[in-house]
Amino acid sequence: MIPVTCPHCGHVFEIKRDTVVIAQMDHAARSRLDDGSYFMHQCQNCKSMFYLYYPFLYRDPKKKFNLVLTEQKSIDNLSEDEQVVLCHSVSQFLLAFKIYDQCLDPKMVLVKKKQLEKKLNRSVKFDYFDLKNHCLWFEDKAVSLTEKECKEILIL
């Protein structure tokens, strides 16, 4: 059980949640991570929606990455042949999930994200890489990629 305090009304409760998910074993969790709803919770007291923050490991052995939601600066005892990405907030975790699940270069995605945010003067959420149309989608905005960028963004 994980102790939780509603950030809106202060209601304290405990909730049972998985702290480890392996990609190929839990397709429902993978789907909820993709749509951003995995960490969402509605307070039973005030009915406000908020993200639950608790230590969590998402492991994808096929794509060779581990995403860890934690306050720690490092994690031991994970497979050395798989990339480990530490995330310190739910929003970081969900962004990292979208990037690594699509086997994309995180630096390229983040550069394009920052360029679009500067142009729009607001933050945007990354959705997906569209290989057919050579672009990255951020909410309802597409950012075109050159042929070279399309080849470089995929890390297989």
Please write down the long-range contacts of 146-150, taking CB distance under 8 Å and 24 or more positions apart. 149/108
CA distance 67 to 95: 11
Helix (H, G, I), strand (E, B) or coil at 70: coil
In this prediction, residue 122 carries a pLDDT of 97
- pLDDT over 80 (residue 77): no
In this prediction, residue 80 carries a pLDDT of 79
**What integer is the mean pLDDT of 11-25?**
92
**What integer is the mean pLDDT of 24-51?**
94
How does pLDDT run across 51-69, given as a tens digit for each residue?
Answer: 999 999 999 999 999 999 9
Q: How confident is the model at residue 11 (pLDDT cuts 50, 70, 90)?
A: very high
Q: How confident is the model at residue 76 (pLDDT cuts 50, 70, 90)?
A: confident
- pLDDT over 90 (residue 79): no
Q: Strands of 83-87's sheet, edge to edge? A: 20-22, 56-60, 65-69, 83-87
82 token code pair: 């798989």
Burial track 99-119 (b if 16+ CB lie within 10 A, e otherwise): bbbbebeeebbeebbeebeee
In this prediction, residue 74 carries a pLDDT of 77
- pLDDT over 90 (residue 1): no
